[in-house]
Amino acid sequence: MTRPNRQLSVNYYAKSCPQVERLIGSITSQQFKESPVSGPATIRLFFHDCFVEGCDASIIISSKQQGNKMLAEKDAPDNKDLREEGFESVRKAKAVVESKCPGVVSCADILAISARDYVHLAGGPYYQVKKGRWDGKISMASKVASNIPQANFTVDQLLKLFSSKGLTLEDLVVLSGAHTFGFAHCQNFVSRLYDYRGSKNPDPIIDPRLLRALRMSCPHYGGNADIVAPFDVTTPFVFDHAYYGNLEAKLGLLASDQALSLDPRTKPIVQALAKDKQKFFQAFAAAMEKMGSIGVKRGGKHGEKRKDCSMHML
């Protein structure tokens, strides 16, 4: 991993593409109106990008372009249900930016700025995005599984993964708050509903009303693989701090969400954020900046500026 932040700056494109944020904003605001799910889809895309090989848009590379040599990150099993809206949002923003500032702005920076835009459009904080990431030259599906948290992770497993990225216990709890909007497929939580950790019973912690509702959507076997449920049952499309209050009320969707309100190390952070929306917003903006500087690439042998975000420069 390269040293973070050394090279990122808010004004990175001040001379070369001063209107970059306005150009991207014209796309994100339109996409958000037409398809609100673009918000959580793009933030998840950014997270999955940064945790594998750093924030370098390696998640957007198409396997087709790499020939048969190597499956790209995008096609790893853990990335199969990343929604197309996230990729589409970056593709459209890139096209607009290229038309005004050709060859200047990286796909990695476009993804970071778009993620911020959607947080804000959905009611969350607006924060400055540091820029200067280059696009990565490597995208390998085989690197994904060991770097992405699973829905049944314990706090120990989550902490180990986040620490390996230079993120703290607090960063873990704060970034999990992105689950204040968006949806998960049944397969990510169905074991909690019927056979929690091999017990043949549901997870005893889950609120009985939520359990009933989720069981109606997600049968134990043979359900529709496309069915989703909201992470935040109270305000599923709004970026707020309700996620934390839900965890306190045993309304967390994933085992890895609910675990945060049970473990003595993370519980006090959950309680503090449940009480104070501004505190969450400030902490989230800071944690996004920190996550956004993981494994940043420069030009030269590790970095490129792609013309088409799905294709390496040849």
Active site residue 302: no
Q: Is 217 annotated as a binding residue?
A: no
Closest CA to 192 of 246, 264, 248, 259: 259
Catalytic choice (48, 120, 302, 312): 48
CA distances from 293 to 1, 79, 97, 283 (A): 10, 21, 22, 16
| DSSP codes of every residue in 273-294 | HHH-HHHHHHHHHHHHHHHTTT
Q: Is 203 annotated as a binding residue?
A: no
Dihedral (Cα; 243, 247, 248, 251), 10-degree rounding: 100
Q: Is 52 annotated as a binding residue?
A: yes
Q: Is 104 annotated as a binding residue?
A: no
Q: Is 73 annotated as a binding residue?
A: yes
Q: Is 54 annotated as a binding residue?
A: yes
Q: Are 296 and 185 in contact (CB under 8 A)?
A: no
Q: Is 240 annotated as a binding residue?
A: yes
Q: Is 179 annotated as a binding residue?
A: yes
Q: Is 78 annotated as a binding residue?
A: no
125: tokens are 């904080």
**From the annotation, which residues make up the binding site for Ca(2+)?**
49, 52, 54, 56, 58, 73, 180, 232, 235, 240
Hey, which residues are catalytic here?
A: 48
**From the annotation, which residues make up the binding site for heme b?**
179
**From the annotation, which residues make up the binding site?**
49, 52, 54, 56, 58, 73, 149, 179-180, 232, 235, 240
**From the annotation, which residues make up the binding site for substrate?**
149
